[in-house]
Amino acid sequence: MPRRPPADDAPTSANRFSEERAATTLRGADQPDLEAGIAAIREVQATLPLRPGVYRMHDARGDVLYVGKARALKNRVANYLQVNRLPGRLRRMITQTRSMTIVTTNSEAEALLLEAQLIKRFRPPYNVLLRDDKSFPFILLRADHAFPRITKHRGARRAVGNYYGPFASAGSVNTTINALQKLFLLRSCSDSFMAHRDRPCLLYQIKRCSAPCVARIDEASYADLVRQARDFLGGKSSAVQREIETQMNAAAEGLDYERAAMLRDRLRAATFIQGSQAINAEGVGNADIFAIAAKAGQIGIQAFFIRGGQNWGHRAFFPAHTEGLDPGEVLQAFLAQFYADVPPPRLILTDRALPESDLLAEALREAAGGKVEIGVPQRGDRRRLIEQAARNAVEALDRRIAESGTKARTWREIAEFLELGEVPGRVEIYDNSHIQGSNALGAMVVAGPEGFQKGQYRKWNIKREGTKPGDDYAMMREVLDRRFARLLNASSAAEGAAPSDDAAGTGTGVWPDLILIDGGKTHLSAVRETLAELGIEDMAMVAIAKGPHHGRDGREVFHFPDGREKQLPVNSPILFQLQLLRDEAHRFAIGAHRDKRSRAITTSPLDEVPGIGPARKRALLLHFGTAGGVRAASLEDLCRAPGVSTAVAQAVYDFYHPGG
């Protein structure tokens, strides 16, 4: 008998186990579950205070079903006990609820921020979810160097400097940085690269850098360029253009035609930046603009990012779990999650009123550094911007519906071709990467009808003694054994206790509907045997092998566990989609392998010596030349190295001479 949990309890994607139940209507047979859910809620509600806070509802497995906030927890949770007044969606949630987690806060605004963070973390099936929550790119103008650099930045804002953004995409950032380099001639190279230059690089030759690395510009003149860049990005573009134009005219009158030509080119770059904007946002300053569209049960939200009166890009979002909700509620939930990671501007414009706009504005006040205004413009330039965003929202949603229809049909055909009972909600694709057995690792990517789930990608260093270097089949066995042994442990733990907050929402306890192996029938046999040893015998799996010309002609062969083989026409959409899944696993495995190999190249044997930091390691290598020289040195020689104390020398010597 397989040890995999019964099909009724096994989730088929990160949240699909609850979505499937949410898609059914309440029946009389569900009444015991409804009573159990009410009893669990009543038990918690009796102990709740009349204070603001956040509550989480869990199912029997401990997975988070819903995250909510309240001004008074006791009163808010009591609403769930009046089942007849609840919509069907929430009644379905109560049938699954078996426990609750409560966190009190100092204010309702603080509860709103915490609610958004927890929703992004746990991705509950009954909350509105921001699907596309990857970090946005910014432009960073560093301030920790005599000659500050301008660069693209993602992630935590730890570097000292001025951040400008968000931009809608990396492409829009790169385009803007290229134009800013032509306009202000600021360097984009790293500090170490600059420090080791003895002649200007190509960017100087093509007039996109002023070459401070070789003193082609002094510090005061460079600081003036930095000031102009800050003014331009801060919304004073017209003043900067007038200043450059004045300098150009003065240079022409002084017969310095070379400088005048350079200033003319900079002025053209400024005009290009302003002329390349998709919308006219002059006079708006810094603002984010949002409009929402609803059609065929789906919702699309269009966002415009305006900074300094310039349009820094736009993006469409399609939140999940919006069925039966008012668009205003969806937009507010979306904004709370969106600004959990993105710094808000002082002005947010929407195409409709939000249920709790004042509360949201209060919650965003600290992150914005002052009062935040959330408004619905009725006339003028701001209204025209809202109308343009609304048109874009409708068009983006229409494209999304058309694309999803085609994609859904392709996935149905995939399920039919691979002989699956239903469309797989979670597909795990596995691949290995190594060079003659060195730096070996295995990789897993996750996909489904909604696309790739990059937050659930995983990689494993091949480390078992029984796995021979370069043995692809043994590597595949190790990866699958480690993945599914952990999955079985997570399932067993869920039966006895709720998983910890750190484990919830990571996807480590979610069972796949299909395993896709990049390899041939021997790889498939290795996987099937590994799972059988774990007691898992009902897992759908297929191996995709390159054809006789290594896949260049699209003649991939699909191997099934029973030994059968299938092929698809070279122009089949099903083949293209399966190739895309296989290639993504290959790309991820190769990238992870290269990262590991790069780290190995830069690793020194001295890194293994306890108590040796970068400074002392550098001192030892400079003194002895190589790590081998350090290893061969006597204790007396180690003590003579500059910056190395007697205790450190003794630690290094003892590490390499454990026998004394």
Angle separating helix axes 257-275 and 237-253, nearest 10 degrees: 160
Res. 22: pLDDT tops 50: no
Cβ neighbors of 350 (< 8 A, separation 6 or more) are 289, 290, 291, 331, 374, 375, 376, 386
Arithmetic mean of pLDDT, 89-101? 91
Class of the CATH domain delimited by 30-122: alpha beta
Q: Is the pTM of this model over 0.85?
A: no
Rounded to whole angstroms, the Cα distance separating 152 from 140 reads 6
Element of type H or E holding 266 = helix 257-275
What integer pLDDT is reported at residue 291 of this predicted model?
95
User: Phi-psi bin for 625: left (phi > 0), alpha (psi -120 to 50), beta?
Assistant: left
What integer pLDDT is reported at residue 455 of this predicted model?
81
CB burial readout 237-272, b (16+ within 10 A) else e = beebbebbeebbeebeeeeeeeebebbbebbebbee
For residues 55 and 76, is the Cβ–Cβ distance under 8 A?
A: yes
Alpha-carbon 608 to chain mean position: 33
For domain 427-590, give the fold. Answer: Nucleotidyltransferase; domain 5 (3.30.420)
What integer pLDDT is reported at residue 24 of this predicted model?
37
Q: Where are the domains of the chain?
A: 30-122, 138-275, 287-401, 427-590, 605-656
What integer pLDDT is reported at residue 474 of this predicted model?
84
Strand order in the sheet with 138-142: 150-153, 138-142, 161-164
Res. 170: pLDDT tops 90: no
Element of type H or E holding 32 = helix 31-45
Res. 277: pLDDT tops 90: no
For residues 141 and 161, is the Cβ–Cβ distance under 8 A?
A: yes
pLDDT in tens, 364-381: 988 888 899 999 999 888
pLDDT in tens, 560-569: 988 888 888 8
Question: Read out DSSP for 580-628?
Answer: HHHHHHHHHHHHHHHHHHHHHHH--GGGGSTT--HHHHHHHHHHHSSHH
CB burial readout 218-229, b (16+ within 10 A) else e = eeeebeebbebb
Rounded to whole angstroms, the Cα distance separating 281 from 306 reads 7
What integer pLDDT is reported at residue 503 of this predicted model?
40
For residues 376 and 352, is the Cβ–Cβ distance under 8 A?
A: yes
Res. 50: pLDDT tops 80: yes
Rounded to whole angstroms, the Cα distance separating 656 from 660 reads 9
Q: CA-based diameter of the chain, in Å? A: 92
Res. 581: pLDDT tops 70: yes
Res. 197: pLDDT tops 90: no
What integer pLDDT is reported at residue 120 of this predicted model?
86
Unique residue bearing structure tokens 């083949």: 575
**pLDDT band for position 271 (cuts 50, 70, 90):** low
Locate 650 and state its tokens: 């003794």
Q: Give the dihedral of Cα atoms 358, 360, 366, 367; nearest 10 deg.
A: -140
Q: How far apart are the first and last CA of the chain?
A: 57
Cβ atoms within 10 A of the Cβ of 489, count?
A: 12
What integer pLDDT is reported at residue 21 of this predicted model?
38
Give the angle 301-302-304 at the CA atoms, nearest 5°: 145
What percentage of the chain exceeds 90 in pLDDT? 23
Helix (H, G, I), strand (E, B) or coil at 102: strand
Q: Under CATH, which number does the domain 605-656 receive? A: 1.10.150.20
Helix (H, G, I), strand (E, B) or coil at 293: strand
**Domain 287-401 coded CATH 2.30.110.10:** no
Q: Is the peptide bond before 166 cis (omega within 30 degrees of 0)?
A: yes
Res. 12: pLDDT tops 70: no
pLDDT in tens, 526-545: 888 988 888 887 889 999 98
Cβ neighbors of 335 (< 8 A, separation 6 or more) are 290, 348, 354, 360
Alpha-carbon 457 to chain mean position: 11
Q: Which of the residue ranges 134-138, 518-522, 570-574, 638-642 would you say has the lowest mean pLDDT?
A: 134-138
Arithmetic mean of pLDDT, 619-636? 78
Rounded to whole angstroms, the Cα distance separating 154 from 135 reads 7
Rounded to whole angstroms, the Cα distance separating 311 from 288 reads 10
Whether 427-590 and 287-401 are alike in CATH topology: the answer is yes
What mean pLDDT value characterizes the chain? 81
Arithmetic mean of pLDDT, 401-426? 86
User: Phi-psi bin for 532: left (phi > 0), alpha (psi -120 to 50), beta?
Assistant: alpha
Rounded to whole angstroms, the Cα distance separating 549 from 533 reads 35
Locate 255 and state its tokens: 């017969």
Question: Read out DSSP for 530-556?
Answer: HHHHTT-----EEEEE--TTTTTTS--
* Amino acid letter, 459: K
Nearest partner of 112 among 363, 287, 349, 327, judged by Cα? 363
